[in-house]
A and B are shown apart, each in its own frame.
Chain A
Amino acid sequence: MKGATFKGGTHPFEGKDLSKDLPVKKIVPTGEMVYPVSQHIGAPAQPIVKPGDHVLVGQTIAEAGGFVSTDICSSVSGTVKKIEKRLTVSGAMVDSIIIENDKEYTKIEGFGEKREYRSLSKEEIRECIKKAGIVGMGGAGFPTHVKLAPKDDNAIDYVLVNGAECEPYLTSDYRMMLECPEEIIGGLKVILSLFPNAKGYICIEDNKPEAIKVLEQQVLKEERISVKVLKTKYPQGAERTLIYAATGRMINSKMLPADAGCVVNNIDTVISVYKAVCQNIPLIRRIVTVTGEGANHPQNFEVPTGMSYKEVLEQAGGCNEKTVKIISGGPMMGMALYDIDVPVMKTSSALLCLTKDEVAEQEPTACIRCGRCVSVCPSKLVPQMMLSYAEKFDNEGFVKINGMECYECGSCTYVCPAKRRLTQSFKQTRRSVMDSRRKQ
């Protein structure tokens, strides 16, 4: 079983054994719930509740604030306490709706009601997805109803489900593939009904043979769906490398997957689509892997959005005193948290407790021009040169050698023997280039 793949990439320590065999457990919040209005790319959602209002599970509390934007629903029942700025994972203060949980979990009318997607029109399906507040859950958080509305539905040849989960330590998608394959197939069928000419591929890295087996069983009867086995390599699950590995098509930073006839969705996104369209359940929970050498009891949890990471970690049994760094997401692209009292959002995927800070331990030294950064870069860039421009604050030079094609995957920094902070500099430079472009 040799998997399809891309050129470049690297093999970080996987660390998935800590949590991969542990079934997803439900977790019940006790404290206040915090719903930031920006949990997605695009315009922030507009709150439609005010302090004192009573809300129910699944009730819309904020509505899309523009075309590229989406709704937000409450994951508990209770009373809106206030709307104020709160710290989020990214370190920014974001307007958030704070809800006092009454712990009754009274559901809104119609919640969980079965629906037949075939009886819905395409517009109704997209509206369902928007109302459910679904966003890309691989990390970026692009509103799914926008992604599923390309210029021409007939031009889409492939609907890819991203089950690569190439980030080390993360096992939430893996668990979902094992535990609810029917919902993945169901969600994919809903999406395929939007694109008459598309084939559905469920893409899985070959380090997850059990998941491949389960899903291959499931797709036996499905004409339009097949399982695509990919080679295990970081960053196999990045949108561009995934499309290339699965279809042989290439896109760059200025193109959308739809330009290559593809639509890519994460495993949990597809499940959410199924729930939204077929069961009338909006996106109000996330699968979060609590893991890392510092976690006392690694576990996969189904966490209501809005719950504090701090409480999640406490309920999971906490972390030991050797923990020096806590990351929301995986170790390659996740965000380090200095305060873990931040809410779980739609894009959260893991809480990783590291007992070793490999970044702080190793001072950068002189570049020895070993070329490793060049050979691992999935975008075929020359990170070594990009860094010398970035360090001189020469944005023009940086752009000229295609620095904007970098998607900050971290591979170059991971392999650099001189421990240079390449990706970190690129983030800053890319941001400053984007800012100056916006100003023009």
Chain B
Amino acid sequence: MSNLYNVSASPHVRSKDSTKTIMRDVVIALLPACLAGIWVFKMEALLVLLTTSVACLLTEYIYERLMKKKITTGDYSALVTGLLLGMNLPPSIPLWIAVLGSVFAILVVKQLFGGLGQNFMNPALGARCFLMISFTGRMTSFTLDGVSSATPLAVLKNAGSSASVMDTLTQNGTSLLNMFLGNIGGTIGETSALAILIGAAYLFIRRIISWEIPVCYIGVFSVFMLLFGGHGLDGMYLLAELCGGGLLLGAFFMATDYVTSPITKNGKIVFGICLGILTGIFRVYGGSAEGVSYAIIFCNLLVPLIEKVTMPKPFGYVKEKKTK
């Protein structure tokens, strides 16, 4: 009976969650918003989403194959990047640009920095900004039902602060309800606030994300817009700003990206606050009506600094007493 048993240092048990199950949950949570995008933009959206997903997975596979690394396409993280990138593109984008963006996201932003966990910038957002700079026109032309139309946020911004929010929206053939449900022009994934909230609820229930980043982000952003948006305490304006554009998608799915957000609780709070302020500044004072992607990317770069200043105090910490 003296057979040898396995030995290793404690602990000897592990939780069931793994990188794979977490990423799979994120994919599941992204699906409602993807479906809403396909429902609104039909075939075009489906093709874009498929293209970016497949292109991201393939890029990761080929790169890891060539570099003789362990193939990690099975952990769903490349799929998350693919879906997120597709969701950040307008439905009318030429597919070759979508492919280019996917390759950039996986190859440049993710793998060249060492792969999952090492990138300092969200790959999907990095690629979106790269495409924005390279193909500004195509990235910002939005169509709805085959007709090109400005996004509600752009309409609101151009109308200036004196115009009534409801009137401006109605004149442009839309409404707050449309913005909430998703029947508006914009990128594929950000169109339906409702679908995004359903996905976000799933993430909360599965405890994939915690409240700090989204709540601080959206909260601070709201306060900022009420103070500096130029519409005073207009609730309608605030709702339009929240439902329109990439704010919700960004707050729940991209700002909360594990790899590129702070790891500690206080760090997450500071991160969320920075995001809220920056997005507000970009939307109110910037040239474009959008600002979420840039705000997130910029704050991604601040993460090491934020983590440094928000290092938690250990349990039972006492200030070193100066010995005289």
A-contacting 9-mer, from B195-203, B274-282, B314-322: B314-322
A387 to B65, CA, bound (A): 28
A381 to B315, CA, bound (A): 8
Closest Cβ of chain B to A359, distance in Å, is 5
Partner of B13, one of A324, A366, A414: A414
Is B313 engaged at the interface, CB distance under 8 Å to the other chain?
Answer: yes
Is B9 engaged at the interface, CB distance under 8 Å to the other chain?
Answer: yes
Is B133 engaged at the interface, CB distance under 8 Å to the other chain?
Answer: no
Q: Do B13 and A168 touch (CB < 8 A)?
A: yes
A285 to B314, CA, bound (A): 38
**Which of B5, B72, B75, B313 has the most chain A CB atoms inside 10 A of its CB?**
B5
Is A436 engaged at the interface, CB distance under 8 Å to the other chain?
Answer: no
Is B226 engaged at the interface, CB distance under 8 Å to the other chain?
Answer: no
A44 to B241, CA, bound (A): 71
A379 to B75, CA, bound (A): 31
Partner of A382, one of B5, B6, B312: B312
Is B18 engaged at the interface, CB distance under 8 Å to the other chain?
Answer: yes
A432 to B18, CA, bound (A): 30
Enumerate chain A residues within 8 angstroms of B261, measured Cβ to Cβ. 369
Q: Do A414 and B14 touch (CB < 8 A)?
A: yes
Enumerate chain B residues within 8 angstroms of A382, measured Cβ to Cβ. 263-264, 311-312
Q: Do A325 and B21 touch (CB < 8 A)?
A: no
Partner of A359, one of B8, B116, B264: B8
Is B39 engaged at the interface, CB distance under 8 Å to the other chain?
Answer: no
**What 0/1 pattern do residues 110 to 133 of B give for CB contact below 8 A with A?**
000001111000000000000000
Number of interface residues of B (CB under 8 A): 42
Closest to A12 in B: B13
Is A203 engaged at the interface, CB distance under 8 Å to the other chain?
Answer: no
Q: Do B10 and A423 touch (CB < 8 A)?
A: yes
Residues 354-393 (chain A) with a chain B CB within 8 angstroms = 354, 357-360, 362, 365-371, 374-375, 378-382, 384-385
Closest to B303 in A: A369
Q: Do A368 and B116 touch (CB < 8 A)?
A: yes
Closest to A336 in B: B7
Q: Do A338 and B316 touch (CB < 8 A)?
A: no
Q: Do A417 and B10 touch (CB < 8 A)?
A: no
A327 to B5, CA, bound (A): 10
Q: Do B6 and A240 touch (CB < 8 A)?
A: no
Enumerate chain A residues within 8 angstroms of B14, measured Cβ to Cβ. 358-359, 362, 413-414, 416, 419
Enumerate chain B residues within 8 angstroms of A252, measured Cβ to Cβ. 314-318
Closest to B22 in A: A417
Q: Do A251 and B11 touch (CB < 8 A)?
A: no
Enumerate chain B residues within 8 angstroms of A418, measured Cβ to Cβ. 18-19, 117
**Which of A91, A416, A417 has the most chain B CB atoms inside 10 A of its CB?**
A417
A374 to B264, CA, bound (A): 6
A156 to B282, CA, bound (A): 59
A332 to B10, CA, bound (A): 6
**Sampled A-B contacts (23; CB under 8 Å):** A12-B13, A91-B7, A240-B316, A250-B315, A250-B316, A251-B316, A255-B316, A332-B10, A333-B11, A338-B4, A358-B12, A366-B118, A369-B117, A369-B258, A369-B261, A382-B312, A385-B263, A410-B11, A416-B14, A417-B17, A417-B22, A421-B9, A423-B9
Residues of chain B at the chain A interface (Cβ within 8 Å): 1-2, 4-15, 17-19, 21-22, 72, 75, 77, 115-118, 210, 258-259, 261, 263-265, 268, 311-318
Residues of chain A at the chain B interface (Cβ within 8 Å): 10, 12-13, 91, 168, 240, 244, 250-253, 255, 310, 314, 318, 323-327, 329, 331-341, 354, 357-360, 362, 365-371, 374-375, 378-382, 384-385, 401-402, 405, 408, 410, 413-419, 421, 423-424, 427
